[in-house]
Amino acid sequence: MLNTASQIQQQVQLAAYNSFGVPAMAAYFADVRSLGELRRALEFARDKNLSVQILGGGTNVLFVKDYAGLICHMNIQGISHLPESGMVQASCGENWHEFVSYCMNNSLYGYENLALIPGSVGAAPIQNIGAYGVELAQFLVEIEVLDRERDAVRNFSRAECEFGYRGSVFKQQSSHRYVVLSASFKLSAHNLPNLDYQALKAALPEPGITPQQVYDTVCRIRRSRLPDPAELGNAGSFFKNPVVSRDKYDALQSEHGKVPSYATEDEHLVKIPAAWLLDRAGWKGRRRGPAGVYERHALVLVNTGEARGEDILLLAQEMSSSILSQFGIGLVPEVQLI
């Protein structure tokens, strides 16, 4: 076990810890491998009056400048499951895609649509990750957190997590009060493929589709559509899909012709693909110095070389202003700006 002094490094370059690959220095950095290490790192920050930023795989953050506080890189490992019950628990530092693969290998089905989403298990509940018609919330039973305010470990049931579209109770509190330690899920031993997402359904043979086929197809589609951060720095979708009133949606359709949409739980609200708006505004493939927009997906901002966080941010601000003036819709970043 490491003591606090050896666990905490000073002046650490964060380029390798964020999928944009942008440079930024952290004044202090802790690679956290246990609850004890987390507690000691947080105590260190309290003693020095440092702000704390919790970090997983860094695939949904943009470092806009150097960070003067302590970065806690959550690296607690471990997966276990109870055979026959469908219950599986994973620690926060596990890689999400490897966790999905573990489930597949143990005939635990449900998350094959979420294969290849980058990042860690601990971050997955923060924005309730989702893709191809499935969201994390569907199979989550509870998560275990450290409540920093009370220095106590507690569990949140699925209902207490208040999951919504790319959001949860944890995303609403910016102070990082709760640090996710592990998450528990109940998956199914039966093959119940979710093919609600049309592009996925169209890419699969019928009938008798197996979970492995869904998993393989999702991986293939994702590889063909999204750039691999190891080759081209990016954080996936930069903006959330905006939700507008039905009146606003109708007005948009009369001005711009057919506008694609997704239903929401509220019949008065409509979700519009941000990628469509950005594509219509001509952003696909555009560059602003070393920052750019991926040529195959207008929602993905990329670091084409030596971009700094502020280059990406300036491009994002320009894109968002253009959507506001052209469509009267404000785009909200999905990525956390640090």
> Under the rule (CB under 6 A), what is the footprint of ligand FAD?
19, 54-61, 74, 92, 117-120, 122-124, 126-127, 129-131, 179-180, 226, 229, 234-236, 336
HEC profile for the chain?
CCCHHHHEEEEEECHHHCCCCCCCEEEEEEEECCHHHHHHHHHHHHHHCCCEEEECCCCCEECCCCEEEEEEEECCCCEEEECCCCEEEEECCCEHHHHHHHHHHCCCECCHHHCCCCCECCCCCCCCCEECCEEHHHCEEEEEEEECCCCEEEEEEHHHHCCECCECHHHHCCCCCEEEEEEEEECECCCCCCCCCHHHHHHCCCCCCCHHHHHHHHHHHHHHHCCCCCCCEEEEECECCCEEEHHHHHHHHHHHCCCCCEECCCCCEEECCHHHHHHHCCCCCCEECCEEECCCCCCEEEECCCCCHHHHHHHHHHHHHHHHHHHCCCCCECCEEC
Q: How far is the CB of 83 from ligand FAD (least distance, A)?
A: 27
- The minimum distance between CB 61 and ligand FAD, in angstroms, equals 4
Annotated catalytic residue 261: no
State the sign of the Cα–Cα–Cα–Cα dihedral 12, 292, 130, 163: positive
Which lies closer to ligand FAD via its Cβ, residue 133 or residue 290? 133
Nearest distance from residue 102's CB to ligand FAD, in Å? 17
Q: Which two tokens stand for residue 25?
A: 């220095």
CA 338 – CA 316 distance, rounded (Å): 14
Confirm whether 166 is a catalytic residue: yes
Closest contact distance (angstroms) between CB of 183 and ligand FAD is: 9
- Minimum separation from the CB atom of position 118 to ligand FAD (A): 4
Whichever of 177 and 246 has its CB closer to ligand FAD, that residue is: 177
> How crowded is residue 258: how many other Cβ atoms within 10 Å of its Cβ?
6
Give the length of the chain.
338
Would you say 226 or 293 has its CB closer to ligand FAD? 226
Closer by beta carbon to ligand FAD, 8 or else 38: 38
Please count the CA atoms within 13 angstroms of the CA of 147 that sit on its side-chain side: 7
Catalytic residue among 33, 166, 222, 308: 166
Name the residue nearer to ligand FAD (CB basis): 147 or 247.
147
CB nearer ligand FAD, residue 130 or residue 327: 130
Selected catalytic residue, list 19, 168, 237, 320: 237
Is 51 among the residues known to form the active site?
A: no
Cβ at position 89, least distance to ligand FAD in Å: 14
Question: Which residues are identified as catalytic?
Answer: 166, 237, 334
